[in-house]
Amino acid sequence: MGSIVGFTVFSNLPENRLQALENAHQRALTYFPHLQRHSRVIGETHLEVWGREGMEDRLHTLSDGSLLALIGSPHGEVNLAKVQDALMTDRFELPWDGRVLLLRISADGKRWTMWNDWLGSIQVFHAEIGRGRIASTLEPAVVASAGYTPDDFYLPGLVSLLINGHYLADWTLYKGMKVVPPDSRMEWGEGGFRAETLWTVAPSQSRWEAGWDDLVDEMYELSRKAIADVLKTQPRWILPLSSGLDSRLIAAVAAEMGVDVYAYAWGGPNTTDVVYSRQIARTLGIPWKWIDLPRDFLVTYTPRWADLFGSSMHFHGMYQMAFLDEIQNEPSGSVLSGFIGDVLTGDSVHELIAVHSSGRSYQLENEWYCHWNVEQLRAYARFDFAEALEVNADEYQKQIASLPGAFYQKLQLLELWNRQRLFTKFQSTLSSYWRGVANPFMFPARITRNHLS
């Protein structure tokens, strides 16, 4: 079954903005001639989707005339007809694991409802434009439709981008554009936009009495099963293998199962990732290849990043675009993608404690993760950002106060929902455009709850 890689949904946009929207679509999608586009009109709403051959199977009309669209890379079987009865209830939850969101458009097009995964790993940008509204996985599509200029900058968001390399909460670079929250049921209607957190993943104290040995044994079984279940869904896989925890675990399970997997590493031949990747693949008996990145990858791929991601985060993934182009003649197969970093192990919590346990903080992480620190910003910024800086500090305090659980659990969610979902998003988005992607570490909610206990 073909997957839907991205979408734009809009209604009642001013006529003079429609060409700007289409131009943004064309700029982003011209790089991917293998992807198909499909359009639907539902009442007053227009839906544009793009993806692989057969993606029409990810669209389904319900008995009440509303339309479902399943976007992303859900794990396992997808049968939209099987969820239609559950959708008629107030407490519907996504039945699929993985990187996924479900969009429902009412028959008259006046109401849109959306559910997303617990990480919010597929970003959706939305805005009201005149009497109309738009939501899209392409940030430049919303920006172009609204006709935003620097006069529309949201200064607290700009400050966060300069310090952290990304935004907080539902912020973007523009005052009128927001990002949907993670793990939520969202609705756009005559009353505007509203969202309800579903807490499919939430901290608890239920495991605090468990011994370390028992937890390790259980996490081994659960993690192995989650990876193995994904590996069984396709006959061949592409694995970017680094020295990190995620890809090493995937490689080990794949080797144990005898899965047809091809591993790759990129970068300088003597870098840590390449050296350890080669050793891991040799030990496991997995086919491995080193990819040397072209010297001009920044010049070549920076415009493509801008067309795909706009100002949604700092420009980061040009090297991965180069890698994906370099392996285009390698064996076919979807990419196995991890989380980037060991966040699910709680690796970042001890650093976050140091940043957020005393006084007001103007940054999410310690300075190793910062692009500019506050003093550098004060030295070089040519605009007054003092008030915007305090809004950032207020936002950290507000989120920590509102998140459930013990302090370390709050910080784990603070990291996952503000930074980590963006890195999972960009890496998986790139793979989905080039080859298709699966995310074994988008665990079922029951497993992730154990991580947060």
- On whether residue 39 sits in a domain, the answer given is yes
- What is the per-residue pLDDT for 39? 98
pLDDT per residue as tens digits for the range 224-242: 998 999 999 999 999 999 8
* Number of domains observed in the structure of the chain: 1
Band the pLDDT of 161: cuts 50, 70, 90: very high
Nearest Cα to 378, choosing from 174, 165, 163? 163
Instruction: Lowest mean pLDDT of 74-88, 94-108, 332-346, 385-399, name the range.
Output: 332-346
Give the other-Cβ count within 10 Å of 209's Cβ: 7
42/431 Cα distance (integer angstroms): 30
| Residue 135, phi then psi, degrees to nearest 5 | -140, 140
pLDDT per residue as tens digits for the range 9-64: 999 999 999 999 999 999 999 999 999 999 999 999 999 999 999 999 999 999 99
In the structure encoding, which two tokens stand for residue 296, read together? Answer: 């001009």
Give the other-Cβ count within 10 Å of 182's Cβ: 23
- On whether residue 19 sits in a domain, the answer given is yes
Band the pLDDT of 449: cuts 50, 70, 90: low
Interacting residues of 327 by C-beta distance below 8 A, sequence separation 6+: 238, 264, 291
Q: H or E element: which one contains 46?
A: strand 45-51
The enclosing domain of 142 has a CATH number of 3.60.20.10
Is the separation of the CB atoms in 253 and 280 below 8 Å? no
Radius of gyration of the chain (CA): 22
- On whether residue 310 sits in a domain, the answer given is no
What is the DSSP pairing of strand 184-189 with strand 177-179? unpaired
pLDDT surpassing 90 at residue 423: no
* pTM for this prediction: 0.95
The CA-based diameter of the chain, rounded to the nearest angstrom, is: 63
pLDDT surpassing 80 at residue 342: no
- On whether residue 32 sits in a domain, the answer given is yes
420/440 Cα distance (integer angstroms): 16
What's the whole-number mean pLDDT along residues 256-279?
95
Is the separation of the CB atoms in 326 and 230 below 8 Å? no
% residues pLDDT > 70 (the chain):
97
- What is the per-residue pLDDT for 86? 86
User: What integer best gives the mean pLDDT of the chain?
Assistant: 93
CA distances in angstroms from 201 to 93, 313, 352, listed in the order given: 12, 25, 20
- On whether residue 418 sits in a domain, the answer given is no
259/288 Cα distance (integer angstroms): 14
- What is the per-residue pLDDT for 447? 54
- On whether residue 65 sits in a domain, the answer given is yes
Domain limits at 176? 4-197
CA distances in angstroms from 111 to 1, 50, 134, 181, 379, listed in the order given: 28, 22, 12, 18, 47
106/357 Cα distance (integer angstroms): 46
- On whether residue 174 sits in a domain, the answer given is yes
CA distances in angstroms from 312 to 208, 325, 346, listed in the order given: 38, 23, 26
- On whether residue 14 sits in a domain, the answer given is yes
Q: What is the secondary structure of 285-334 as a DSSP string? A: T--EEEEPPPTTHHHHHHHHHHHHHTTSS-S--HHHHHHHHHTTTSPP-E
pLDDT surpassing 70 at residue 74: yes
**Which residue carries 């896989």 as its tokens?**
237
Nearest Cα to 4, choosing from 49, 61, 39? 49
